[in-house]
DNA sequence: TATGAATGAGAGTTCATTCAT
DNA sequence: GATGAATGAACTCTCATTCAT
């Protein structure tokens, strides 16, 4: 059983995290001040430092959990017993939905600057997670196209597939519609985009 | 006839504007200080305020010209006498290059921020220009697909084409590579993406 | 009879005081935070405020005991039955060691800050204790030189003796070595300095 | 000819430097804030950053010029044609007077913490200058005692001579008297201290 | 008694901007 | 027209201290 204090503490932390998430994504990391976050979270700016080492730690804690969760979901889909192209489409829609749900944060982990490899920053961890996600998608695309993992065309068409996927996400990441509305309205469009793309790619690969 | 003073004055102003443009593009608006611009332009930082109200004014004056230039370039391409699909590809590459060149200035050019309509901000003007650009692209796609402008499939496939285009831009808008490097390295990839996409779409539209 | 609670309470207080003493001495008053002290003492930083009004109160309570202890030690040495010059040397080394042990706490113990006489600050008390110490040293020097307490040469050579003593302390008060290391390494040097000085002085006093 | 602006600028810089000197020495480097210095100097705290890179640069600029000047004065004395013991006494009095004139700063360069050798900090430069001064004094003492420069007794007695010298400086560095008053009143005392010390040392060295 | 939560004051520093020449 | 001098606002972050339990 958690004490009332612990509960309040947890609430404060969550509030800070939520506020930071909203502000970072709407105004950008640099443009948001610790005092902005504090005001939004309804606490003093010093309180933030009780829960997070510094501003960068906030960014980190904000980015990792959702992306790890997405990785799990994708793994689950991959392990299911269904046709590869169904899997790919499911995964794609999953990624889209995930990014739109977390849309005010998605660019936190999709647009991380290229990181110097020599220092183990928290950004490194995000980078790794993102790369893993890319790897899983490649794997799924490979299964669909029936290409060898060394075939250089795999990289080419995975990239192109990505453009489509990322374009969808970027296009709607600033929408004011709810994710449900968006997905309900546009799922056929998305599915069609995958379909025509795969048709085109297949005509080239075989 | 302009006096020598006026001429020198005009030169200083241009130098400031040019320096700001280069710096904003390469390092981003926020990361550039007025003193940086002044040093690059070879004048004092106070001199900038003679010609421009403030830092934001610099950005404004800097925002419109390139986008207008892009519109012109697209118009030129549209008016050329070549196959529609060649035109579309040329326009697409042009738009990509433009967005990457200016990637740091308007972070993602396509990102539709909800703009308050009641105030005539410079953002409004950019919005209008962007909408024009979209119109021209649609037009070009229409010519390629041979669809009637009222055909609802035109909207569908234009959207899908956009996903691809926008995805490319978003993917590379945070790269540290120069645009020359990027385009040199990836132009074939981009071209291939348009090709397979059009193959797919055509197979549907017939 | 004291209750178990009172006993535990007293222990906590002592632990805090001891921790503060150690930390103040090793890192200096300003560089030590209340949280540092609490961690060292094994309690929460808020607990400190139960026993001590504020950080300065800790310093006060910590300041007097060691200096009183030094006075006692000097008294003990003075009352021993040994040659006056041996006593003087022992006292001198004692004072040096004391000042180096506490070097960080009262920056230079001998530094006579002009103290306002109208307020009974804790510094006043320290001042008094220090004056007492000076008196005892003079007394010891007098015994060594065999001078009358009114002889003006006593003041002169006591001053000079002080220069040497104070110079030693000042020289090493910013060292990073431990007192043990310092005293172990330099005690012969210190002893030699006292010896040559007394030789010189005696040759004058005759 | 200097413009009025340049003159004012120079005044501001000097004022900042002077204020920093007074405050650093009276309250200690850490305890003094940039805003304190600014208030004392009669300017905004940001103005300080126009003239000095950061707080540490202030300390540096404050410490170096006087110590270099002292080095020159000592060199002049050393090159004069007079008995070694006269030279040593003159140098000693010079150092004392210098330190008392700059008393509110002397501990800035006499009590520099031992510095990590791997980074070329400004403190390093002070360290070097101080070491040079020590070297010159050793040289002079060597001439007086007629010892070989490798004789280990030279180091011993130089150290002891230093204790006396530094003790004098430390003792009077907090006095409110003017340097003229102090030197006028105490020069005989200082001279006597050097004399008895050298008598004692000579009796040992033979 | 004891503590985790929370805060205001203030540290060094940067920067867009204004003032006086 | 042009500039060096100067500043206020604001940034991230720390710390002694108080509040509520």
> Each residue's pLDDT tens digit in chain B (206 positions)?
557 777 888 899 999 999 999 898 878 888 899 999 999 999 999 999 999 999 989 988 888 888 888 999 999 999 999 999 999 999 999 999 998 888 776 654 555 443 434 444 555 677 788 788 889 999 999 999 999 999 999 999 999 999 999 999 988 887 778 889 999 999 999 999 999 999 999 999 87
User: Which pLDDT score, from 0 to 100, does residue C29 have?
Assistant: 86
Looking at residue C123, its pLDDT comes to 57
Greatest Cα-to-Cα distance within chain D, rounded to the nearest angstrom: 64
pLDDT at position C173, please? 83
CB-based contacts of C164, cutoff 8 Å, min separation 6: C193, C194, C197, D160, D163, D164, D167, D197
Q: Which position has the token pair 């980190």?
A: A60
Residues 31-50 of chain A within 7 A of strand F, judged by CB, are 32-36, 45-46, 49
Closest CA–CA distance from residue A70 to any residue of chain B (Å): 20
pLDDT score, position C193: 98
Label residue A136 by pLDDT band (50, 70, 90).
very high
> Under 8 Å CB-to-CB from D57, ≥6 apart: which residues?
D122
Residues 25-44 of B with CB under 7 A from strand E: 32-35
C50 membership: H or E segment, kind and range: helix C45-51
CA distance linking residue B102 with residue C14, whole number of Å: 66
Which 13-42 residues of chain C touch chain D by CB within 8 A?
A: 30
Please, what is the end-to-end C-alpha distance for chain D in angstroms? 61
Cβ contact, residue pair D196, C193, below 8 Å:
no
**Between A and B, how many CB-CB pairs are < 8 A?**
109
Residue ranges of alpha helices (H) inside chain D are 4-27, 34-41, 45-51, 55-79, 84-101, 103-110, 122-145, 152-172, 179-205
For residue D144, give every residue at least 6 positions away whose Cβ sits within 8 Å of its Cβ, in sequence order, or none.
D84, D85, D87, D88, D198
Note the Cα B154 to chain centre separation in Å: 24
| Per-residue model confidence (pLDDT) at position C124 | 64
Residue B90: its pLDDT value, please?
95
Q: Which among D110, D156, D193 has CB closest to C163?
A: D193
Q: Is D159–C189 a contact, with Cβ atoms under 8 angstroms apart?
A: yes
In this complex, whether D and A touch, counting 3 or more CB pairs under 8 angstroms, is no
- Is D200's CB within 8 Å of C204's CB? no
| Sign of the CA dihedral running B95, B99, B102, B105 | positive
The pLDDT value given to residue A26: 78
Question: What are φ and ψ of residue D29, in 5° steps?
Answer: -55, -50
CA distance C74 to C134: 11
- For residue D119, pLDDT over 50 is answered with no
CA distance C103 to chain D (A): 13
| Average pLDDT along chain B | 86
List the A37 CA – E21 C1' distance (angstroms). Answer: 44
Contact D165, D95 (CB under 8 A): yes
Q: What percent of chain B has pLDDT over 70?
A: 88
**Which among D85, D82, D84, D32 has a CA at the least distance from the CA of D62?**
D32
Contact of D156 with chain C, judged by CB distance below 8 Å, is answered with: yes
User: Does pLDDT of A177 surpass 90?
Assistant: no
pLDDT surpasses 80 at D123: no
Give the CA distances from residue B144 to residues A194, B187, C61, D70, in Å, rounded to whole numbers and listed in that order.
20, 20, 89, 86
pLDDT of residue C137: 92
Place of tokens 């993102």: A130
| Stretch C141-152: mean pLDDT | 94
Which nucleotide does the CA of B49 lie closest to, via C1'? E17
Residue A128 confidence (pLDDT): 80
Distance CA B138, CA B197 (A): 15
End-to-end CA distance of chain B: 62
Q: Which residue of D has its CA nearest to C190?
A: D160
Q: Which residue of C has its CA nearest to D191?
A: C160
Contact B94, B74 (CB under 8 A): yes
CA of D179 to C1' of F19 (A): 54
**How many angstroms separate the CA atoms of B150 and C160, rounded?**
107
Angle, CA B118 vertex, CA B112 and CA B122 arms, to 5°: 55
Cβ D204–C199 below 8 Å, yes or no?
yes
Measured distance CA(C171)–CA(D156) in Å, rounded: 14
B interface test, pick of A30, A196, A197, A202 with most B CB neighbours within 10 Å: A196
Is the confidence at residue D122, as pLDDT, over 70? no
Q: What pLDDT was estimated at residue A114?
A: 43
Cα→Cα distances D26→A134, C29, C122, D186, Å: 62, 17, 20, 23
Considering only CB atoms, C163 lies closest to which of D28, D30, D167, namely: D167
User: What's the rounded mean pLDDT across residues A125-154?
Assistant: 89
pLDDT-derived band at C188 (thresholds 50, 70, 90) equals very high
Convert the pLDDT of each residue in C47-68 to its tens digit: 999 999 999 899 888 888 888 8
Two tokens at B34? 């007025």
Residue B197 in tokens: 């996409």
pLDDT of C34 over the 70 cut: yes
Give chains near C: 3+ CB pairs under 8 A: D
Dist CA D168 CA D192 (whole Å): 12
Q: Does C contact A via 3+ CB–CB distances below 8 Å? A: no
Point out the residue among B171, B173, B204 whose CB comes nearest to the CB of A196.
Answer: B204
| Range in A10-14, D62-66, D73-77 with the lowest mean pLDDT | D62-66
- Which carries the bigger pLDDT value, residue A67 or residue A196? A196
Rounded CA–C1' distance between C34 and F16, in angstroms: 7
Task: State the pLDDT at residue B9.
Answer: 85
For residue B106, what pLDDT is reported? 61
Q: Give the gap in angstroms from C-alpha D161 to the nearest C-alpha of chain C.
A: 8
Contact B189 A162 (CB under 8 A): no
Please indicate if any CB of chain D lies within 8 Å of the CB of C160. yes
All structural domains of chain A, each given as residue ranges with its CATH number in brackets, are: 4-51 (1.10.10.60), 62-205 (1.10.357)
pLDDT at D126: 73
SS (H, E, C) chain B: CCCHHHHHHHHHHHHHHHHHHHHHHHHCCCCCCHHHHHHHHCCCHHHHHHHCCCHHHHHHHHHHHHHHHHHHHHHHHHHCCCCHHHHHHHHHHHHHHHHHHCCCCCCCCCCCCCCCCCCCCHHHHHHHHHHHHHHHHHHHHHHHHCCCCCCHHHHHHHHHHHHHHHHHHHHHCCCCCCHHHHHHHHHHHHHHHHHHHHHHHHHHHC
Neighbors of chain A by Cβ distance (3+ pairs < 8 Å)? B
CA neighbor of A106 nearest in space, from A26, A203, A202: A26
pLDDT at D159: 93
Report pLDDT for D154.
95
The nucleotide lying nearest B51 (C-alpha to C1') is F1
pLDDT at residue number D174: 76
Range of D54-63, D108-117, D184-193 with top mean pLDDT:
D184-193
Question: What does the angle CA B19 – CA B25 – CA B30 come to, to the nearest 5 degrees?
Answer: 90
In this predicted structure, which of C157-166, D95-104, D118-127, D168-177 has the lowest mean pLDDT?
Answer: D118-127
Contacts of C100 (CB under 8 A, 6+ apart): C169, C172, C173, C179, C182, C183
The rounded percent of chain A whose pLDDT value lies above 90 is 61
Q: Tell me, what's the pLDDT at D67?
A: 85
How many C-alpha atoms does A192 have within 13 Å on its Cβ side? 19
Taking only Cα atoms into account, the Rg of chain B, rounded to an integer number of angstroms, comes to 20
Nearest-CA distance D167 → chain C (Å): 3
pTM for this entry = 0.77
Asked if B175 and A114 come within 8 Å (Cβ–Cβ), the reply is yes
Q: What is the tens place of the pLDDT at every residue in A69-86?
A: 899 999 999 999 999 999
Contacts with D197 from chain C: Cβ below 8 Å? 160, 164, 196-197, 200
Helices within chain A (DSSP H only): 4-27, 34-41, 45-51, 55-79, 84-101, 103-110, 122-145, 152-172, 179-205
Cβ distance of C110 and D170 shorter than 8 Å: yes
Query: Residue B74: CA atoms inside 13 Å, Cβ hemisphere, count?
Result: 27
- What pLDDT was estimated at residue B107? 57
Residues C94-119, mean pLDDT to the nearest whole number = 66
- Tell me D121's DSSP state: -
- Mean of all residue pLDDT scores within chain C: 86
Q: Which residue has the tokens 């080492």?
A: A53
Nearest CA in chain B to A201: B196
**Nearest by Cα to A101 from A173, A29, A165:** A173
CA distances to A98, A123, A159 from A129, in Å: 15, 10, 18
């Amino acid at each position: 059983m958690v004490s009332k204090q612990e509960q309040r503490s947890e609430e404060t932390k969550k509030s800070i995290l939520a506020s930071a998430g909203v502000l970072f994504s709407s105004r950008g990391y640099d443009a948001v001040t610790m005092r902005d976050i504090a005001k939004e979270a309804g606490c003093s700016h010093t309180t933030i430092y009780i829960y997070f080492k510094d501003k960068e730690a906030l960014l980190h804690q904000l980015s990792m959990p959702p992306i790890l969760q997405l990785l799990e979901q994708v793994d689950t889909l991959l392990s299911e017993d269904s046709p590869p192209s169904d899997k790919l489409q499911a995964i794609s829609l999953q990624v889209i939905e995930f990014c739109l749900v977390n849309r005010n944060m998605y660019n936190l982990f999709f647009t991380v600057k290229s990181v110097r490899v020599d220092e183990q920053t928290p950004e490194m961890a995000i980078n790794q997670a993102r790369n893993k996600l890319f790897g899983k998608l490649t794997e799924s695309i490979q299964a669909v196209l029936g290409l060898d993992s060394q075939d250089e065309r795999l990289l080419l068409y995975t990239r192109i597939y990505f453009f489509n996927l990322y374009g969808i996400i970027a296009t709607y990441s600033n929408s004011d519609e709810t994710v449900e509305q968006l997905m309900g309205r546009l799922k056929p469009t998305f599915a069609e985009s995958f379909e025509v793309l795969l048709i085109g790619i297949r005509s080239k690969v075989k």
